[in-house]
Amino acid sequence: MDAWSRFLDAFFKWQLIERYLPAILDGMAVTVEIAAAVVITGILLGLVLAILRAFRILPLSALIVIFADMLRALPPLVLVLLVYFGLPSVGINLPSFAVLWLVLSCVLAAFAEEIFWAGILSIPKGQWEAARSTGIGFVSTLAYIVLPQAVRLTVAPLTNRTLAIAKNTALGMVIGVSEILSQATTGQSFAGNATPLTMGAIAYVILFIPVVVLGRWLETRFAWRRA
Amino acid sequence: MQALLQQFFDFAIMARALPLLLTGLGQTLVLCLVVIPLGLIGGLLVALTSLARSRAVRWSAAAAIDFFRAIPPLVLLIFVYAGLPFAGIRLSPLAAVAIAFLLNNSSYYGEIYRAGIESVGHGQWDAARSTGLKARQALIYVVLPQAVRNVLPDLISNTVEVVKLTSLASVVALPELLYSADMARSITFNTSPIVLAAGIYLVMLWPIVRLVSRLERRIAS
Domains of chain A with bracketed CATH? 14-221 (1.10.3720.10)
Q: Is any Cβ of chain A less than 8 angstroms from the Cβ of B21?
A: no
User: Taking a contact as any Cβ pair under 8 Å apart, which residues of chain B between 146 and 175 contact chain A?
Assistant: 160-161, 164-168, 170-171
Domains of chain B with bracketed CATH? 2-220 (1.10.3720.10)
Please tell me the distance from the alpha carbon of residue B61 to that of residue B205, in angstroms, as a whole number. 31
- Nearest Cα residue in chain B from A84: B191
Q: Is any Cβ of chain B less than 8 angstroms from the Cβ of A154?
A: no
A-chain residues within 8 Å CB-CB of B182?
Answer: 81
The reported pLDDT for the residue numbered A2 is 82
The reported pLDDT for the residue numbered A227 is 35
Q: Is any Cβ of chain B less than 8 angstroms from the Cβ of A194?
A: yes
| Alpha carbon B37 to its chain's center | 9
How far does B94 lie from chain A, in Å, by closest CA?
19
- Indicate the pTM of the whole model: 0.92
How far does A171 lie from chain B, in Å, by closest CA?
7
Q: State the ipTM, two decimals.
A: 0.91
pLDDT in tens, B13-32: 999 999 999 999 999 999 99
Average pLDDT over every residue of A106-127: 93
B-chain residues within 8 Å CB-CB of A79?
Answer: 198
Please tell me the distance from the alpha carbon of residue A179 to that of residue A172, in angstroms, as a whole number. 7
Please tell me the distance from the alpha carbon of residue A223 to that of residue A152, in angstroms, as a whole number. 9
pLDDT in tens, B146-196: 999 999 999 999 999 999 999 999 999 999 999 999 999 999 999 999 999
pLDDT in tens, A49-78: 999 999 999 999 999 999 999 999 999 999
* Exposed/middle/buried for residue B67 (C-beta within 10 Å: 0-12, 13-18, 19+): middle
